Amino acid sequence: MSEGLQLLPKAYDDLLKPSAQELGKGLNTIARSLNIVLSPLAGLVWGFDRLKLFLEEDVSQRLAVRKTKSITTPAPSVAVPALMALTYLGSESELRDLFANLLVSATDTATAGKVHPAFVEIIKQLSKDEAKILASLRSRANFPVICEGTYRDDDFHDAHSMLSEIYAEFGRLCTSVGIPEGTESGPYLDNLLRLRLFEIKEVGDVELKERTRGFFLNADGETSGIELRRTRYEALYVTKLGILFLDLCVTNPEGPNRATEPSP
């Protein structure tokens, strides 16, 4: 090999060394900055001891208050992903509450068979505000109807305006459960629809009404002051899946209202 070729590796090394050194400095700076911004999260990640306390103190207490007559080992497809999710969601009290109820339902022989593995993924994809919304639904007078938008045949309303009305009504519901005014509630509704906890259905009613103006000929050729008035509306409902989710993960009338933070 010629002397020139032998020198090439050293030349490239000398050429790249400053850039590599600068890159290394940049990466070190990024790593230090990343460590600073992520350090507050370190205390939020639950380890085995934290999970053990959670099971012993919170889930056990709920089973006792529920007066569960018989318990069983929960299905691994429910318990394992739920506990794994709790390692990074356990610090969120609203979501921790849902996981606690889910594990109670999966452990109680009276309800274990009704628990669907998808419930873990549903909880993982909820925000704290959405958990608050779900917790309020059972107290609504027309449950499982959440809100609606209506129009009559002689209205200028259409499906789009009804949908807008539903979103507006849902926004007012969010405010009523303590979500700050000004919070964009539309994405919450979209997410709950996507998860199939909610659905929008069109329903119609027909009734006899006295005409307020004019008369028309009925089938017998006689004038009549009575007419059929059709009213249609789109309503936001809790789905059957949503009702089951509320029963097993949200509504826990005989247990604690809120999962308490286990002592570290």
- pLDDT band for position 253 (50/70/90)? very low
Quick check: is 91 in a domain?
yes
Q: Which two tokens stand for residue 32?
A: 């230090």
- Cα dist. 99→62, 79, 96, 226, 257 in Å? 12, 9, 5, 56, 13
Residue 251 to residue 144: CA distance in whole angstroms: 14
Quick check: is 198 in a domain?
yes
Strand partners, 228: 208
- Same domain, residue pair 165 and 91: no
Asked if residue 41 has pLDDT above 70, the reply is no
Share of the chain above pLDDT 90, in %: 41
Instruction: Give the DSSP H/E element, type plus range, for residue 105.
Output: helix 93-107
Q: Which of 126, 154, 182 is the last residue of a domain?
A: 126
- Same domain, residue pair 110 and 160: no
pLDDT at site 255: 42
- Same domain, residue pair 114 and 143: no
Can you give the residue range of the structural domain that contains 180? 139-211+225-244
For residues 231 and 167, which has the higher predicted lDDT (pLDDT)?
Answer: 167
Q: How big is the CA angle at 62 (ends 57 and 65), to the nearest 5 degrees?
A: 120
Q: Which of 82, 104, 126 is the last residue of a domain?
A: 126
Residue with tokens 């059709």: 230
Residues 22-45 have a mean pLDDT of: 60
- Same domain, residue pair 232 and 156: yes
- Same domain, residue pair 54 and 94: yes
Quick check: is 263 in a domain?
no
- Same domain, residue pair 205 and 237: yes
- Same domain, residue pair 6 and 30: yes
Quick check: is 120 in a domain?
yes
Query: Residue 141 in 3-state DSSP?
Result: coil
- pLDDT band for position 206 (50/70/90)? low
- Same domain, residue pair 121 and 145: no
- Same domain, residue pair 164 and 233: yes
| pLDDT tens, position by position, 118-166 | 999 999 999 999 999 999 999 988 999 998 876 555 555 565 677 888 9
Quick check: is 100 in a domain?
yes
The arrangement of strands across the sheet holding 198-210 comes to 145-152, 226-238, 198-210
Q: Contact at 8 Å (CB) between 208 and 227?
A: yes
For residues 148 and 238, which has the higher predicted lDDT (pLDDT)?
Answer: 238
CA neighbours closer than 13 Å in the CB half-sphere of residue 75? 16
Q: How many C-beta atoms surround the C-beta of residue 120 within 10 A? A: 25
Question: What does the H/E/C string look like for 174-223?
Answer: HHHCCCCCCCCCHHHHHHHHHCCCEEEEEEEEEEEEECCCCCEECCCCCE
pLDDT at site 57: 86
- Same domain, residue pair 144 and 195: yes
Quick check: is 60 in a domain?
yes
pLDDT at site 214: 53
Quick check: is 158 in a domain?
yes
pLDDT at site 220: 56
Of the listed ranges 1-5, 52-56, 167-171, the one predicted with least confidence: 1-5
Q: Which of 97, 126, 155 is the last residue of a domain?
A: 126
DSSP 54-103: IIIIIIHHHHHHTT-S-B-PPPHHHHHHHHHHHHHHTT-HHHHHHHHHHH
pLDDT at site 48: 83
Q: Which two tokens stand for residue 224?
A: 């009549």
Q: Contact at 8 Å (CB) between 115 and 162?
A: no
Q: For the chain, what is the domain count?
A: 3
- pLDDT band for position 240 (50/70/90)? very high
- Cα dist. 78→39, 112, 118, 258 in Å? 30, 10, 8, 21
Q: Contact at 8 Å (CB) between 116 and 244?
A: yes
- Hey, which of 80-84, 129-133, 136-140, 178-182 has the most confident mean pLDDT? 129-133
Residue 138, exposed/middle/buried by CB under 10 A (0-12, 13-18, 19+)? middle
